[in-house]
């Protein structure tokens, strides 16, 4: 295995900047690895070799001529295929956008370009980011690099699998109810959902706008912190982004944790929790105790309602957001004699079954006579869930839970039962409903050798502390240094 692909983004950035490595040679190494392994994994919708090599060459020239460089100068990154890169195809893994070419850059892409990052590919997802396994992609299912019979998680399964298989040191995902953290946990990597409003969503395909966030994925905590440094910040093009200073997330990552209070919500440690998951969390608690942290039991009493509330809210917002795909303005069009048939057939043929299910559920929840009973009620319970977190943070600095209730399951195991699939996100959804920040960090392996993840949840805009807590754990463990044999 080429030594380059084992390096962290932080190391690569340093080596490229100091001319020990050329960006072109780094990018080539990752693309070679992707070409060798991706027929088995299928993480990528497209490997953008030509685009990446041109960017790498530009970075190398910039460095050679002594010009100022960016924080990720010459470093490869894979991008979830629901984020726009100008002039590249962007499908959201849906037939309805199969041939859509992005007319502009998302804000995060603009920021990455300014930082010198190199885009090596667009990664597969569940159609419109609806799912937990990538089985809802209209094109193909991505495999878990640790066991190709298993799902990589979802919906950012392509990004998680790409980083897990070491075909990119960094990736971007989006997280509406767990789509960064759950696949990160399944693929043995770090995945971060920043506080709602921390990262601009301009140029990311809208699924449920009050929940969606873009976030970093990488093998190490430090790399995700470095990536968040680049993509975070206010953007006037996203009215929900917050005008608040962005700290340097790497600077204080190594602070001592003595006296830090970690809360364990009792509602998350239910009977029937997978024994390997439970064991890995018990071991994690021991490590944090040895680092001087206090472990405190807390309660998030409205946890039981989170899945129901989430599915009413996300489906309602999706039904509104996806109304724009009508076969007229852009995307796939079914040719018909009259406009009304054209709408129906374009949407009927363009959307897959899960997307249709959610549009119908959402339309129902928003319809006259049902609005108060469903959407209105869900919003009220959402406020209670948010208040649960606010109360908990009066007692603790950070909350810890498992990231997912089970290790990555087998492909096909849950695809015929949407409810079972929805339960995969039982631990990640409340974070989006409350708007707080969350991340998954590798914390062990199941008996079968499948990665497991713990979730850390911080107060609003306290990602700095979250990274610190996660970083100290990685310093004390080596789960993130294991590689799949693919």
For ligand GLN, the binding residues (CB under 6 A) are 129-132, 155, 175-179, 207, 314, 425
Nearer of residues 131 and 169 to ligand GLN, judged by Cβ:
131
> Which among 155, 161, 346, 446 is annotated as catalytic?
155
Tokens of 11: 């190391």
Shortest distance, position 132 Cβ to ligand GLN, whole Å: 4
Question: Cβ of residue 141: shortest distance to ligand GLN, in angstroms?
Answer: 15
Q: Which is nearer to ligand GLN, 179 or 446 (CB)?
A: 179
Taking the complex as a whole, the smallest distance from the CB of residue 29 to ligand GLN amounts, in Å, to 31
Task: Please report how the helices 221-231 and 463-476 are oriented relative to each other, as an axis angle in degrees rounded to 10.
Answer: 160
Q: Which residue is nearest to ligand GLN (CB)?
A: 179
- 78 and 217 Cβ atoms separated by less than 8 Å: no
Cα–Cα distances in angstroms (integers) from residue 151 to residues 18, 146, 280, 358, 451, in the given order = 39, 10, 20, 22, 12
Closest separation between CB of residue 182 and ligand GLN, Å? 7
Q: How many CA atoms lie within 13 A of 477 on its CB side?
A: 27
Are 195 and 210 contacting, i.e. CB atoms less than 8 angstroms apart?
A: no
Asked if 41 and 122 count as a contact pair (C-beta separation under 8 A), the reply is no
Asked if residue 219 lies in contact with residue 77, where contact means CB atoms within 8 angstroms, the answer is: no
**Is 80 one of the catalytic residues?**
yes
First to last CA, the chain: 11
Residue 73 or residue 175: which is nearer to ligand GLN going by CB? 175
Residue 27's contacts (CB-CB under 8 Å, 6 or more residues apart) are 52, 53, 55, 56, 74, 76, 118, 120
Which residue among 179, 224, 403, 458 is the active-site one?
A: 179
Smallest distance from ligand GLN to CB 136, Å: 8
Minimum CB distance to ligand GLN, residue 254 (Å): 30
Query: Residue 132 catalytic?
Result: no
Residue closer to ligand GLN, measured from CB, 155 or 159: 155
Q: 208 or 227: whose CB is closer to ligand GLN? A: 208
Q: Rounded to the nearest whole angstrom, what is the least distance from the CB of residue 90 to ligand GLN in the complex? A: 16
Whichever of 226 and 365 has its CB closer to ligand GLN, that residue is 365
225 or 315: CB nearest ligand GLN: 315
CB-wise, 161 or 176, nearer to ligand GLN? 176
Q: How far is the CB of 235 from ligand GLN (least distance, A)?
A: 20
Backbone Cα Rg of the chain = 21
Q: Which of 17, 42, 80, 193 is catalytic?
A: 80
What is the distance between the alpha carbons of residues 387 and 299, in angstroms, rounded to a whole number?
11
Q: Verify whether residue 155 is a known catalytic residue.
A: yes
Q: Provide the annotated active-site residues.
A: 80, 155, 179
């Amino acid at each position: 295995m080429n030594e380059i692909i084992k390096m962290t983004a932080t190391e690569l950035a340093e080596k490229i900047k100091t001319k020990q490595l050329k960006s072109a040679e780094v990018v080539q190494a990752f693309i070679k690895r992707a070409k060798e392994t991706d027929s088995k994994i299928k993480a990528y919708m497209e490997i953008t070799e030509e685009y990446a090599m041109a960017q790498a060459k530009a970075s190398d020239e910039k460095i050679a001529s002594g010009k100022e460089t960016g924080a990720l100068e010459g470093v490869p990154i894979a991008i979830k295929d629901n984020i726009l890169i100008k002039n590249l195809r962007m499908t959201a893994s849906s037939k309805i956008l199969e041939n859509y070419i992005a007319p502009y850059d998302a804000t995060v892409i603009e920021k990455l370009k300014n930082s010198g990052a190199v885009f090596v590919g667009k990664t597969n997802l569940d159609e419109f980011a609806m799912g937990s396994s990538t089985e809802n992609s209209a094109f193909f299912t991505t495999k878990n690099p640790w066991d190709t019979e298993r799902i990589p998680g979802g919906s950012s399964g392509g990004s998680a699998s790409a980083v897990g298989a070491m075909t990119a040191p960094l990736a971007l995902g989006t997280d509406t109810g767990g789509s960064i953290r759950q696949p990160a946990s399944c693929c043995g990597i770090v995945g971060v959902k920043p506080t709602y409003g921390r990262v601009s969503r301009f140029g990311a395909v809208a699924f449920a706008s009050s929940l969606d966030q873009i976030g970093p994925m990488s093998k190490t905590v430090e790399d995700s912190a470095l990536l968040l440094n680049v993509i975070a910040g206010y953007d006037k093009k996203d009215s929900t982004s917050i005008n608040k200073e962005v700290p340097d997330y790497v600077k204080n990552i190594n602070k001592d944790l003595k006296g830090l209070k970690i809360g364990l919500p009792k509602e998350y440690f239910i009977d029937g929790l997978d024994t390997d998951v439970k064991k890995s969390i018990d071991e994690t608690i021991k490590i944090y105790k040895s680092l001087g942290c206090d472990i405190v039991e807390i309660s998030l009493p409205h946890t039981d309602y989170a899945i129901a509330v989430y599915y009413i809210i996300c489906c309602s917002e999706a039904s509104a957001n996806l109304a724009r795909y009508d076969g007229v303005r852009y995307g796939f069009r079914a040719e018909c004699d009259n406009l009304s048939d054209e709408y129906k057939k374009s949407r009927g043929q363009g959307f897959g079954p899960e997307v249709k299910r959610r549009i119908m559920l959402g339309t129902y929840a928003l319809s006259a006579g049902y609005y108060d009973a469903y959407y209105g009620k869900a919003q009220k319970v959402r406020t209670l869930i948010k208040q649960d977190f606010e109360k908990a943070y009066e007692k603790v600095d950070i909350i810890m839970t498992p990231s997912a209730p089970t290790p990555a399951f087998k492909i096909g195991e849950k695809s015929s039962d949407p409810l079972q699939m929805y339960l995969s996100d039982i631990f990640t959804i409340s974070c989006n409903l409350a708007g707080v920040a969350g991340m998954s960090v590798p914390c062990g392996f199941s008996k079968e050798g499948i990665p497991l993840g713990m979730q850390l949840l911080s107060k609003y805009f306290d990602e700095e502390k979250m990274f610190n807590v996660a970083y100290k754990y990685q310093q004390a463990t080596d789960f993130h240094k294991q590689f799949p044999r693919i």
